[in-house]
Amino acid sequence: MSLPLDLRDGYQRFRQQRFELESERYRKMAKSQNPDTMIIGCADSRVDPGAIFSAGPGEIFTVRNVAAIVPPYEADGGLHGTSAEVEFAVNALGVKNIVVLGHGQCGGVAASLALAKNQPVGVLIEPWVNILAPARDELLSRMSGATPEDLQRAMEFQAVKLSLSNLRTFPFVEEAISQNKLTLHGAWFSIGEAELRWWNSETDTFETLLPDLDGAG
């Protein structure tokens, strides 16, 4: 099987442009990586953490899955891909920050809401997005009269907060936080307007970052 044409063209541009400019950097970091930040984002093709944060190679340790979910800590011998990545980021790389990055129009979050109405979402997706069930059910009872759009948005925020609290069930995460070596962050990206919101733990709100960018010249 040959490379799909768009990938072939993209690789060629990468070699001619970015790699050409940063070849020294690539060569230097070939032996090891030392990123300060881990981002847990959604697999959604529109929400690329490297693009959003203008990150170069080696700068962000990225994990992407359906709906940017972190499951609770379970050392049960199961196949915990995301949890293994958290373990590696904290224990081996010693990242200083973990950012859970949710986003607008998240299909995984929509799937979690669909499950509450007993709509099928996929045999593997169902148990995964059901990790969000406690936050979802609390939200559904609190926002019973809300529009689907408002519910979706609120659930996107709730999902980030649930993943942050699940992160704190990992003993090595809690330990790194208590030693002031690690900080957890929640964020949300709107896609269409590239709005980035950052969770303020004191006010429990997602605040828009850089609101003065528009018209700032």
Residues that bind Zn ion (CB under 5 A): 42, 44, 106, 108
What is the C-alpha separation between 86 and 178, in angstroms, rounded? 17
What is the C-alpha separation between 50 and 38, in angstroms, rounded? 11
Whichever of 61 and 188 has its CB closer to Zn ion, that residue is 188
Whichever of 90 and 132 has its CB closer to Zn ion, that residue is 132
Contacts of 49 (CB under 8 A, 6+ apart): 39, 41, 55, 60, 62, 64, 99, 101
Q: Cβ 167 to Zn ion, closest distance in Å?
A: 18
Q: Cβ 109 to Zn ion, closest distance in Å?
A: 6
Which of helix, strand or coil describes residue 184? strand
Q: Cβ 15 to Zn ion, closest distance in Å?
A: 30
Whichever of 176 and 188 has its CB closer to Zn ion, that residue is 188
Whichever of 93 and 114 has its CB closer to Zn ion, that residue is 114
For the CA atoms of 173, 177, 178, 181, what is the dihedral angle to 10 degrees?
Answer: 110
**At residue 49, what are phi and psi to the nearest 5 degrees?**
-55, -40
Of the candidates 186, 142, 190, the residue with the CA atom closest to the CA atom of residue 163: 186
- Whether the CB-CB separation of 163 and 103 falls below 8 Å is answered with no
Which pairing describes strands 205-208 and 196-200: parallel, antiparallel, or unpaired? antiparallel
Whichever of 106 and 167 has its CB closer to Zn ion, that residue is 106
Q: Cβ 110 to Zn ion, closest distance in Å?
A: 8
- Whether the CB-CB separation of 172 and 73 falls below 8 Å is answered with no
Q: Cβ 12 to Zn ion, closest distance in Å?
A: 30
The amino acid at residue 159 is A
Whichever of 106 and 182 has its CB closer to Zn ion, that residue is 106
Specify the DSSP class assigned to residue 206: E
Q: Cβ 170 to Zn ion, closest distance in Å?
A: 22
